[in-house]
Structure 1
Amino acid sequence: SLKKGSQTLAEHISAFKCTCDELTAIRRPVNDKSMVFSLLNGFGPSYDAFITFMMNPPIPSYKQVVALLQSHET
């Protein structure tokens, strides 16, 4: 499975989503595009090609990016 540091990809996505949910809970919601940029920015050089592909317009939604990341893991 893909790793991001010591976390699996699924763990990284889950932790990121939890942070976004916590921000929403304190009335500081993160918009979809910011979520995409922030999630992808958290990955290292091994994801450069994927990130470049995702950043080409039209930029996919957060849910689409997560689904594409997860499809690489299976």
Structure 2
Amino acid sequence: MTLLLGLHKLSAHIDGSSPPAETIVVADKTAPNPEFASWTAADQKAALLLLSSLTEEAATESLRDSLQQLTKGASSVTEFLRKFKLFCEQLAAIGHPVAETDKIHWFLRGLGPSYEGFSIVIRTIKPAP
């Protein structure tokens, strides 16, 4: 896989390199960073190459593990949600959708302890949002 990703100039997406900033400052105004958009498209291409090389069973387990281990960390809630939704969509696309209760549980757990109050409120709402 390293050779394949290298051939497509996608090695930076698996070697631990950080993506470019989502926004840049131009003339004292914040603007979308075009390098980030390009990096995101290339990142999705790298993910597709990796996933296409897996059997359906291995891809399902890999995606489910990634989804369960995903955490907000230092990223914004919006970025965390984008990554979370991408994993859910990929699982649904290969015929293994995630149950709504699992989505809620894993998402709230991934937010971390600083969102504990929010998580408690969401878990008490019936029916689940």
Structure 1 residues 10-21: aligned runs within 5 Å: 10-21=78-89
SS at match of 1:12: helix
Q: 1:26 to 1:39 in 2, by over 3 A?
A: same
Paired-residue identity, %: 31
Alpha-carbon displacement from aligned partner over 1:21-64 (angstroms, at most 9, x marks no partner): 00011111012222111111101111111101111141432xxx
* 4+ residue runs over 2 A deviation: none
Does residue 45 of the first structure (1) align with residue 113 of the second (2)?
Answer: yes
| Uncovered stretches (5+) of structure 1, i.e. residues with no partner | 62-74
Q: 1:10 to 1:51 in 2, by over 3 A?
A: same
**Partner residue, 2:75:** 7
Q: TM-score, structure 1 length as denominator? A: 0.69
Q: Work out which of the two has the higher radius of gyration on C-alpha atoms and give 1 or 2.
A: 2
Q: 1:48 to 1:59 in 2, by over 3 A?
A: farther
Q: Which of 35, 46, 63 is equivalent to 2:103?
A: 35
| Uncovered stretches (5+) of structure 2, i.e. residues with no partner | 1-71
- Distance in 1, Cα, partners of 2:79 & 2:116: 20
**Partner residue, 1:26:** 94
User: Relative contact order: is structure 1 or structure 2 higher (C-alpha 8 Å, sep ≥ 6)?
Assistant: 1
SS at match of 1:5: coil
Q: TM-score, structure 2 length as denominator? A: 0.42
Q: CA RMSD in A?
A: 1.3
